Amino acid sequence: MYTVHNQTGRRFVITGSNSGTGKEAAKRIAGAGGAVVMAVRTPEKGESARAEILRSYPNADIEVRKVDLSDLASVHTFASDLLAEGTPIDVLVNNAGVMAPPKRFTTTDGFELQFGTNFLGPFALTNLLLPRILESSAPRVATMSSIAANFGKIHFDDLQWTSGYVPMLAYGQSKLADMLLGMRLAELSKQRGWKLLSTIAHPGFTRTNLQTAGANLGRSNPKAEHNRPIIPSQDVEQGTEPLLFAAADPGAQQGAYYGPSRLGGIVGPTKRASLARSSRGTDLPASLWAVAEKLTKTAPPA
């Protein structure tokens, strides 16, 4: 199992850390001495996860805070509260997400749920926290994408899927957008002379509640877990390792993408992965970033 390097003296904000890869990342980073802010939509679930982590690491520096990435007002409140306290933030881990609701839902702000929660919420949070993150001696933003980005396409003519909604295609767009977020942030860091390291990861096919939580939104009869596709998969301990590498490893590279190394990136130890072919348009990261700035009314520091 991958061992997280000593993180003593570094403070992490990890979204979606009450379950799945987010909780595992919070646990192992806290176990390596890092201070962790568990940024979660449901504080009660966050406190339960925190208690579980403290049973393994009683001296862990870990706290729970509420943020709903599907609500930009909540994102602003969360960020404002953190910034007002004046405490350092060294690393932001954009991990939270929702996957393939069976029908089109919208966020509080009227965005398609997956595009809003998986991309626009983290985009706004990143911009709002960047001034504090950039004060770190080794600032970093790690963003979770997905192998679904491989079939993703940015539908600039209908980003919100107001017509022809297809759950997995909308998910693919949102995770490609996350990849482009990480790529563009790396470009901005180079252009503006920041010390910021922007990295990207994907978990392959990792068994978490992500596959069922989104798929059961709005269903009166939830789909059972045994209805999942029978393909190779891995447990959350292994599946979180690309994110941990992206977020905390001293060997992680600017703009690099990390994922499992076996069976086409589905399972296995972490390696540097190839960016999705659909992400390689010369102006695509900058174009999407510009649109996201307008939609969220947020921008990075000049």
pLDDT digits (tens, 9 = 90+) for 67-115: 999 999 999 999 999 999 999 999 999 999 999 999 999 999 999 999 9
The whole-number pLDDT of residue 64 equals: 98
Given a cut of 90, is residue 159 above it in pLDDT? yes
Domain extent listing, the chain: 11-296
Query: Percentage of the chain with pLDDT > 70?
Result: 93
Which pLDDT tens digit goes with each residue over 124-151?
A: 999 999 999 999 999 999 999 999 999 9
Predicted TM-score (pTM) of the model is 0.93
Given a cut of 80, is residue 11 above it in pLDDT? yes
Span 215-220, mean pLDDT?
Answer: 52
**Nearest-angstrom CA–CA distance, 168 and 153:** 11
Domain 11-296: CATH class, spelled out: alpha beta
Given a cut of 90, is residue 262 above it in pLDDT? no
Contacts of 176 (CB under 8 A, 6+ apart): 145, 148, 149, 152, 153, 154, 276, 278, 279
Of the candidates 72, 69, 111, 76, the residue with the CA atom closest to the CA atom of residue 93: 69
What residues act catalytically?
171
Paired tokens of 110? 């009227």
Residue 79 has phi, psi (to 5 degrees) of -65, -40
The whole-number pLDDT of residue 77 equals: 98
Span 143-160, mean pLDDT?
Answer: 97
Confidence bin at 217 (pLDDT 50/70/90): low
List, edge to edge, every strand of the sheet that includes 197-201: 62-66, 35-40, 11-15, 91-94, 140-144, 197-201, 257-262, 267-272
3-state secondary structure of 275: coil
* Positive or negative: CA dihedral 17, 210, 238, 258: negative
Contacts of 13 (CB under 8 A, 6+ apart): 37, 39, 82, 89, 91, 92, 93, 129
Amino acid at 186: A
Given a cut of 90, is residue 51 above it in pLDDT? yes
Per the prediction, the chain carries an average pLDDT of 93
Three-point CA angle 223, 227, 233, nearest 5°: 120
Contacts of 36 (CB under 8 A, 6+ apart): 11, 12, 14, 17, 26, 29, 30, 60, 61, 62, 63
The whole-number pLDDT of residue 162 equals: 98
Which pLDDT tens digit goes with each residue over 269-302?
A: 999 999 999 998 779 999 999 999 999 999 999 8
Three-point CA angle 219, 223, 225, nearest 5°: 150
The whole-number pLDDT of residue 14 equals: 98
Paired tokens of 61? 């520096």
- Give the single-character DSSP code of 273: P
Span 199-228, mean pLDDT?
Answer: 67
Given a cut of 60, is residue 229 above it in pLDDT? no
How many other C-beta atoms can be found within 10 angstroms of the C-beta atom of residue 235? 12
How many other C-beta atoms can be found within 10 angstroms of the C-beta atom of residue 216? 16
Given a cut of 70, is residue 260 above it in pLDDT? yes
The whole-number pLDDT of residue 261 equals: 87
Confidence bin at 226 (pLDDT 50/70/90): very low
3-state secondary structure of 262: strand
* Positive or negative: CA dihedral 240, 27, 121, 129: negative
| DSSP state string for 159-222 | TT--SS--HHHHHHHHHHHHHHHHHHHHHHHHHHT---EEEEE--SSB-STHHHHTTTTT-SSP
